[in-house]
Amino acid sequence: MVNDIKIKNRIVAGDDISYLYKQEKSVSNNSLKDKNPNLVGKERLKIALVFFVVFFSIFSVRNTFLSIFPGEVISQPGNSIALSESKPLPDIYDRSGKNLLATTVRTVRAAVVKRSSEKEFDIHKAAIKLSPYLKQDPEVISKRLSKGRYIELVNDISEKEQYELLNSGVAEVEFNNVWRRVFPNKNLASHILGFSNRDFEENSSAGFERWIYKNDIKSERINLSLNINVQNHLEKKLFEAIDKFDAKAGFGIILNANNGEIVALASLPDYDPNKINYYSPANTKEKRFNRAIQGSYEMGSVMKIFTLAMALEEEKIALSDEFDVWKCIDKSRKGCLSDYKKSKVQFLNAAECLIKSSNICMVQIARITGLNTQKRFLSETGILDEQFLELYEMGKPSLPIRWDDLSMEQISFGQGISVVPLSFASAAASIVNGGYLIEPTIYLSENKNKNNTKLISSEVSETMRYVMRQVVKFGSGKKADVEGYEVIGKTGTADKPCSTGGYCGRLTSFVGAFPGWRPEYIILISLDEPQGKKGIRGSSSYWNAAPTAGEIIRLSAPLLNIAKKNESEKFYQNHARAQIQ
């Protein structure tokens, strides 16, 4: 090649030959490549390597990313779980942990979802197609379908019903898994458990269910202090009593006298929480009213146990002190204060005053103890305050506007003050349990010991147990006695204040405890406006509340593991008898 150039262009001295070098250089380079293919290969390999490195990096990064975040690919539609794993509310059991009171189950809801435009969806046609499956008139279904884009058709359907609805030919029908709260025992303990609506909205719930929402309780199960069998007896016997005595309503409470656990609580009439109409609560207002905790009542003569206990605790009187029960009390009234039954003897000692339930006597005791002592003592019992319980429906007591001497006298025998029955029952427990104050609860209490705060001394409590035993043995509580349990208690028949003023109707009550020698449970039974019937001479608590309580104690005590004892009342009798004699 170099020779050829030389031949074609003759070079003479002085010529610029630099271009020849350039040409030669380029020629020499080309010739090198031709001669050494390794160099060419290397160059190509370099390019290939660059590509490989780039691709490898991309692949590696992508693969690493996939390995670390697999969900990106995996969570495709269809793979996700339809409902959350955990139930929206915990299961509720009774104190045994075996009886299920409330649970949540997954059910299927059929709904019409209008995805297409209104014109494409023929409501009338769909209504005719759905009519045989929903067992409703097509016109009614049409009306329902015309409202909104998501219309609930039917809840809790079986697989067969689901299949039938699918075959109806309405493409807009969809099925959703939904949670549903179920109360297997229906009406039983409905006033404690309350209810939840289908969408689990806090405001459409009541009772303990509402407590769970508001406190955001996430545990899987909760054991309540209720004994479902005792609850059943309480409700059954209460229902029978209401029916037998033509009463308007009734309520009952059984609570542990030592730790405040509510073993049973009933208010009748009640409701089935499975069937309640959440969206029109007014229809069930009467049934939903929990008289045992929401209402406040003038409890009548059962309040006399506080008057006597207070006087004994303050050492203002002795049990043997006598009072004139023929005395005319408070002439400022339209007459003299009278007793339910006039005593045949003029003078009664303090114990007899309670046994005979003398109003005249209680007023005299209250006058001795004084207004301030009464206020302080009743305040200490807790009946003047709003009681705490794990339910948001708790009612408030109704206190006298002006707590003067007249109020003091009325309160001494159970008038002029309305208290919440549950507060009253827990205060009554303090009178007989050795004097210890208790806090009622519907949770299974881990602390089985008594509260250390005392209302009265153990001695006064023992004396009160003795006197209350005499009420059941010889007084108005006779029909509440159960052989072997030595029931103690006090009856009360209170006139109900009318909204128009004055009094109309009666509330009869029995507050008691069993077994009498060492009370473990407090029972309060009340009937609203019971009537006297053929074979039943009166409508006082002696005739209705006391026998109802006795029957409930007879059935419940064995279930509460209380053995009968036929050895007499020597546990506390000697002490109290000595005080009287």
Partner 1 sequence: MLKYISYLLLLIFLSINIYHYTISYEVIKLEKQNNSLKKEIFSELDKRDQLQTEWAIIVSPNNLERLAKKYSERLKLRPISGDQITIIPQNIEEGE
Binding site for partner 1 (CB under 8 A): 41-42, 45, 48-49, 52, 56, 59-60, 63-64, 66-67, 70, 73-74, 79-81, 83, 85, 99-100, 103-106, 182, 184-186, 188, 228-229, 231-232, 236, 484-485, 555, 557-559, 561-564
Question: Measured between alpha carbons, how far is 189 from 194 in angstroms, rounded to an integer?
Answer: 8
- Closest by CA to 431, choosing from 392, 467, 395, 465, is 465
SS3 call for 512? strand
State in angstroms the smallest separation of the CB of 104 from partner 1. Answer: 7
Question: Which is nearer to partner 1, 25 or 42 (by Cβ)?
Answer: 42
State in angstroms the smallest separation of the CB of 292 from partner 1. Answer: 19
Question: Which is nearer to partner 1, 66 or 345 (by Cβ)?
Answer: 66
Name, in order, each residue with C-beta under 8 angstroms of 531's C-beta and a sequence gap of 6 or more: 245, 246, 247, 539
Which two tokens mark 378? 């009743």
364 and 321 in contact (C-beta within 8 Å)? Answer: no
Question: Measured between alpha carbons, how far is 426 from 225 in angstroms, rounded to an integer?
Answer: 15
- Closest by CA to 439, choosing from 431, 430, 397, is 430
DSSP letters, 262-315, are EEEEEEES---TTT--TT-GGGGHHHH--TTTT--B--GGGGHHHHHHHHHHTT
State in angstroms the smallest separation of the CB of 181 from partner 1. Answer: 11
State in angstroms the smallest separation of the CB of 556 from partner 1. Answer: 10
Question: Which is nearer to partner 1, 103 or 223 (by Cβ)?
Answer: 103
State in angstroms the smallest separation of the CB of 500 from partner 1. Answer: 40
Assign residue 139 a region (left: φ > 0; alpha: ψ between -120 and 50; beta: otherwise).
Answer: alpha
Question: Which is nearer to partner 1, 6 or 62 (by Cβ)?
Answer: 62
State in angstroms the smallest separation of the CB of 329 from partner 1. Answer: 43
State in angstroms the smallest separation of the CB of 180 from partner 1. Answer: 10
Question: Measured between alpha carbons, how far is 279 from 269 in angstroms, rounded to an integer?
Answer: 20
State in angstroms the smallest separation of the CB of 139 from partner 1. Answer: 36
* In 184-256, alpha helices (H): 190-193, 207-214, 228-244
State in angstroms the smallest separation of the CB of 197 from partner 1. Answer: 18
362 and 353 in contact (C-beta within 8 Å)? Answer: yes
To 5 degrees, how large is the angle CA 107–CA 109–CA 115?
A: 145
Name, in order, each residue with C-beta under 8 angstroms of 445's C-beta and a sequence gap of 6 or more: 225, 256, 259, 260, 261
To 5 degrees, how large is the angle CA 268–CA 273–CA 274?
A: 140
Question: Measured between alpha carbons, how far is 415 from 496 in angstroms, rounded to an integer?
Answer: 9
Which residue type sits at 484?
Answer: G
Q: How do strand 150-154 and strand 100-113 relate by DSSP bridges?
A: antiparallel
SS3 call for 387? coil
* Long-range CB contacts (within 8 A, 24+) of 535-542: 536/245, 539/245, 539/493, 539/506, 539/508, 540/340, 540/476, 540/491, 540/493, 540/506, 540/508, 541/300, 541/476, 541/491, 541/492, 541/493, 541/508, 541/509, 541/510, 542/476, 542/477, 542/478, 542/479, 542/491
By CB atoms closer than 10 A (0-12, 13-18, 19+), residue 107 is middle
SS3 call for 208? helix
CA distances from residue 472 to 112, 486, 525 in whole angstroms, order as listed: 65, 8, 15
Question: Which is nearer to partner 1, 46 or 342 (by Cβ)?
Answer: 46
Kindly list the strands in the beta sheet with 521-528, ordered across the sheet, starting from the edge strand earlier in the chain: 262-268, 249-256, 521-528, 503-514, 488-497
